[in-house]
Structure 1
Amino acid sequence: MTRSADRAQVSALMAERLDALAEGRSLDPTELARAIAGPDEKRWRLLMPAIREVAVGLAEKGSAAILRKGRIVDPREFKGVYRIARAADVKAEA
């Protein structure tokens, strides 16, 4: 897979999963990676940069939110483990 194919596949799956989320729930980025690449850690880990890139792009547009420890973080400056939520859900809670 090429980087652009990874990004396109990640974008499509992330949009689908965000739309299907129950209110107040969030996505684990590794679940997205496993859904695309399967259970082999060496394969799904290669998708993590593309997943982060897509999530940050959606957060910067206001379509999604990046969460750390349940709180919204700046999509350009966060580090470590994160989750992805629909922006409308977390704004409603704030």
Structure 2
Amino acid sequence: MSDDNTNDLPPKDPAPLDPVATVILDQLSALPADKSAAPDDIARAYAEMRRKPSDGRDLYKRYRRAVKEQAIFLARIGRIEITRRGEPVDPDDFKGVWRMRLKR
């Protein structure tokens, strides 16, 4: 037996991002570098992608929780920052009005 812990398998590709996370990154990438986005803006963009003719105008509200969960995930892995009053906050401990921006 060898003591070497190398694995002969090729490295796995990272798991694909959730569609909501992809929309967050796409929307933030489209903003100027010094701007941030409100979670409702992202939820509206995602809702418009999924809208059916029978959906009401408040469809975006259905996606608010998913946007927050994916924003927290993206902040934890270092892709975005969650901000309050323009300052980055801990993604595991924030309340109230918040925004998001690409990591600076």
Give me the whole-angstrom Cα distance separating, in 2, the residues matched to 1:50 and 1:75.
Answer: 15
Deviations, residues 8-50 of structure 1 (Å, cap 9, x unaligned):
3311211111222211110111011111224722x21110111
Q: TM-score with structure 1 length normalisation? A: 0.77
Q: How many residues align?
A: 81
Give me the whole-angstrom Cα distance separating, in 2, the residues matched to 1:26 and 1:19.
Answer: 10
Query: In structure 1, what residue type is equivalent to 2:57?
Result: D
Q: Which of 18, 22, 34 is 1:12 aligned to?
A: 22
Higher helix share: 1
Q: TM-score with structure 2 length normalisation? A: 0.70
Q: After TM superposition, where is structure 1 displaced by more than 6 Å over at least 4 residues in a row?
A: none
The runs of 5 or more residues in structure 2 that have no matched partner are 1-16, 49-55
How high is the sequence identity, in percent, across the aligned residues?
Answer: 33
Structure ID, larger Rg: 2
2:97 paired residue number: 81
Two-structure CA RMSD over aligned residues (Å): 1.7
The runs of 5 or more residues in structure 1 that have no matched partner are 1-6, 89-94
Give the superposition deviation at 1:57.
0.7
Q: Is the Cα–Cα contact under 8 Å of residues 21 and 74 in structure 2 kept in the other structure?
A: no
